[in-house]
Amino acid sequence: MSRSKDPTQAPRIRPIYPRDLEYLTAWEQDDLVVVDALNPSRDPSHDILPSALRPWSMWLKQLGHWAIPNGQRWSGFVVESGDHPCGLIEVSPFNRTRSTWRVDRVIINPTAFSGGLSNHLNSPLDKVGSQLLRHCFESIWEARMWLAEVAVSHTSALALYRQNGFQPLAQVTYWDILPEGLTQLAQQEPDLPNVVAVSNADAQLLYQLDTAAMPPLVRQVFDQQIQDFKVQPVQGVATQLMRRVQGIDVLCGYVFEPQRKAAIGRFEVTASRDPRRQHQAELTVHPAYTWLYPELLSHMARLLQSYPAIPLRITSRDYQPEREDYLTKIQAEPVERTLMLSRSVWHKVREAKPMALEGLQLPEVLSGLQPVGKPIPGRMSWYNPISEGSYWPSESTLRSSSQPASKPFPKAGRRSDPAPSDQGIQDS
């Protein structure tokens, strides 16, 4: 039975397969592609391998995911209308607990809207992109937070994310240190006596450093734990083999403070042996030790002297003003400015039971505070005769006395009536 080829039928969404990644090279339009720059080195095989080998590379990645049960997962969805693919989205977990996910890229097929699809999909990036994002929010139930990063000049992508509930989290600037600047930095002698190689035993120290180096809101969205700074043995071996094939070396270390027994700075340099690419560096410095910026950059520049003379890409965020000031001082070039966005999906708990709280009325909630019957007024006197030196007997005292019952009780508040004396009560 042949599949329907009517392009006007409602789009359907299915999981992404490695064979679908051939669309990445076919759909090349900047206005319909939203690429996440949060982790540009996530999949460097797209830049090195030929287009014919990329699907095979993704199949190998899938096999690696099956071999490593606790490793990071790669996922995505494709929206189709008949046999015509309309768009593609790639997502991946950001942390080991999989509580925060990120949107790696959103790609729309520009040729799918030339015919009947344009009748019911007026804005491709808006309609198809929103449909893919909403499907990710609903299907990936373990994600509590979502991350995305988009260039500030990509107005259509910013509108797409804002329409789907994303809020600004931080501004990110990407800097390039040219080979001439790296040579000048390498000539300086860094004062780093306590540089230690990174291992799994140092995960606690690195977690404390990462926690102190970012604001509370960013730390809450990232939601990284100690296990995020550990590398599993099998996954480490597979990563090393992949890096050797791609011609990449990772040099990392941290600065240990012996008095405080804490890590105050960390660096990770991804050095490339291919001159067509560029070096990348991740730098984390404790806010109380900003003097480490020139020392760590000089140390990284010395490590890169044995590699090809290509620029070094480093990032800075708006809550790191000391880093941006130093990069401006050494004449680094800001090549790209992006906006990091985040979205919470805690509202899904409320949507699961819409009538749980909304159906309750206020009298039902506060039924215990309602009066049982009509209140009965009692006899109360706001007159205080003690201040005038007089004594007013109580009603029980008068009832126990021998006075006739027909004598009325003196009215409260009447100062003109004489007060009965104690002697008169005793004689009667």
In tens, the pLDDT along 137-163 reads: 999 988 999 999 999 998 888 999 999
Mean pLDDT of 56-75: 53
Closest CA to 105 of 22, 45, 33: 33
The CATH classification of domain 1-165, taken from the options 3.40.630.30, 3.40.50.720, 3.40.50.300, 3.40.50.920? 3.40.630.30
What is the per-residue pLDDT for 146?
Answer: 95
Domains 1-165 and 174-337 alike in fold: yes
Spatial CB neighbours of 313, under 8 Å, sequence gap ≥ 6: 40, 174, 175, 176, 278, 279, 280, 281, 335
Alpha helices in 12-123 (DSSP H): 23-26, 45-48, 54-67, 117-120
- Check: CB of residue 146 under 8 Å from CB of residue 340: no
Residue with tokens 């070096």: 279
Which segment, 109-113, 235-239, 296-300, 350-354, is predicted with the most confidence on average? 296-300
Burial letters for 30-57: b for 16+ Cβ neighbours within 10 Å, e otherwise? eebbbbbebebebbbbeebeeeeebbeb
Spatial CB neighbours of 24, under 8 Å, sequence gap ≥ 6: 46, 54, 88, 107
The domain ranges of the chain are 1-165, 174-337
| pLDDT score of 428 more than 60 | no
Closest CA to 29 of 130, 106, 143: 106
- Check: CB of residue 327 under 8 Å from CB of residue 296: no
Phi, psi for 114 (deg, rounded to 5): -85, -20
CATH number for the domain formed by residue range(s) 174-337:
3.40.630.30
Burial letters for 365-403: b for 16+ Cβ neighbours within 10 Å, e otherwise? eeeeeeeeeeeeeeeeeeeeeeeeeeeeeeeeeeeeeee
pLDDT per residue as tens digits for the range 200-216 = 999 999 999 999 999 99
Could you report how far apart the first and last alpha carbons of the chain are, in Å? 117
Mean pLDDT of 243-270: 92
Question: In the Cβ-directed half-sphere of 136, how many Cα atoms lie within 13 Å?
Answer: 34
Residue with tokens 């008068």: 398
Q: How confident is the model at residue 286 (pLDDT cuts 50, 70, 90)?
A: very high
What is the per-residue pLDDT for 314?
Answer: 95
Instruction: Please state, as a whole number, how many other Cβ atoms lie within 10 Å of the Cβ of residue 426.
Output: 8
Distances in whole angstroms, Cα of residue 161 to Cα of each of 32, 279, 326, 406: 14, 30, 32, 87
Q: How confident is the model at residue 48 (pLDDT cuts 50, 70, 90)?
A: very low
Phi, psi for 141 (deg, rounded to 5): -75, -25
Q: How confident is the model at residue 365 (pLDDT cuts 50, 70, 90)?
A: low
- Check: CB of residue 129 under 8 Å from CB of residue 160: yes
| pLDDT score of 384 more than 80 | no
Pairing of the two strands 145-151 and 100-108: parallel
- Residue-averaged pLDDT of the chain: 77
What is the per-residue pLDDT for 343?
Answer: 94
DSSP H/E element including 264 = strand 262-272
- The total number of residues shown for the chain amounts to 428
Alpha-carbon distance of 284 to 141, in angstroms, equals 31
Alpha-carbon distance of 218 to 224, in angstroms, equals 10
Residue with tokens 């020392």: 295
More confident residue, 421 or 201: 201
Which of 73-82, 167-176, 292-301, 326-335 has the weakest average pLDDT?
Answer: 73-82
Distances in whole angstroms, Cα of residue 313 to Cα of each of 82, 336, 391: 43, 11, 93
Alpha-carbon distance of 427 to 403, in angstroms, equals 11
More confident residue, 85 or 6: 85
Copy the structure tokens of residue 399. 């009832």
Copy the structure tokens of residue 313. 């890409």
Alpha-carbon distance of 307 to 279, in angstroms, equals 9
The helices-and-strands tally (H runs, E runs) of the chain is 16, 13
More confident residue, 395 or 339: 339
Alpha-carbon distance of 268 to 198, in angstroms, equals 10
What is the per-residue pLDDT for 261?
Answer: 92
Closest CA to 166 of 33, 340, 350: 340
Copy the structure tokens of residue 376. 């009965």
C-alpha dihedral, 232 to 237 to 241 to 246, nearest 10°: 30
What is the per-residue pLDDT for 125?
Answer: 73
Q: How confident is the model at residue 59 (pLDDT cuts 50, 70, 90)?
A: low
